[in-house]
Amino acid sequence: MNRVALFPGSFDPFTKGHEDIVLRGLRLFDQVVIGIGNNATKKRYFALEVMKEMIEKTFSGEKNVKVITYDDLTAHTARELGATFLLRGLRNTTDFEYENGISQVNRYLYEEIETVFLITSPNFAPISSSIIRDLHRYGQRVDDFLPYSLSELDKLSQES
């Protein structure tokens, strides 16, 4: 059976916490599709295409990982992909409260979908995209939290 999971998120930016969820998801599913939600009403900090490239680079050796961007309901995107699982990470009770609601709605929209939650690995629990954005905004190097190098990218964009 081909078990495809969609891992949806803003990934603004994609962090080592997200990478950990994907790598552990690969033990459960035949394919993990990382879906970067492109919500036109939400302004991103890191450009969508740049983040897609960084994630592709991170998993260049993993043939069972695919990266897409989407501008639709997550449940509809999963159905189109033939994915019957959504993969999400849980760090704390705040994540749980939020995830509980959206997983119910996703199953209302697409009955066959099952959301699978992986509890964060302890060393990645404190990592959040919003904290990383704040650090980066004020010039702090954030590469330690990311599975690719942003400093290299920043250098390139300053040179060009």
User: What track of x and - describes contact with ligand ADP for positions 111 through 150 (by CB under 6 A)?
Assistant: ---------x---x--xxx---------------------
Shortest approach of ligand ADP to residue 98 CB, angstroms? Answer: 7
Please, are residues 117 and 21 in contact by the beta-carbon 8 Å criterion?
no
Shortest approach of ligand ADP to residue 71 CB, angstroms? Answer: 14
Stretch that binds ligand ADP, among 14-22, 27-35, 56-64, 104-112 (CB under 6 A): 14-22
Residue 18 appears among annotated catalytic residues: yes
Chain residues 26-85 in contact with ligand ADP, contact rule CB under 6 A: none
* Phi (first) and psi of residue 108, to 5 degrees: -65, -40
Please, are residues 22 and 7 in contact by the beta-carbon 8 Å criterion?
yes
Residue 42 appears among annotated catalytic residues: yes
Taking the least distance from each CB to ligand ADP, the nearer of 4 and 25 is 25
Amino acid at 103: S
With CA atoms as reference, report the closest residue to 47 among 96, 7, 14: 14
Please, are residues 83 and 112 in contact by the beta-carbon 8 Å criterion?
no
With CA atoms as reference, report the closest residue to 6 among 57, 100, 79: 79
Active site residues per annotation: 18, 42, 91, 129
Task: Give the residues lining the site for ligand ADP (CB under 6 A).
Answer: 9-11, 15, 17-18, 21, 88-89, 91, 95, 120, 124, 127-129
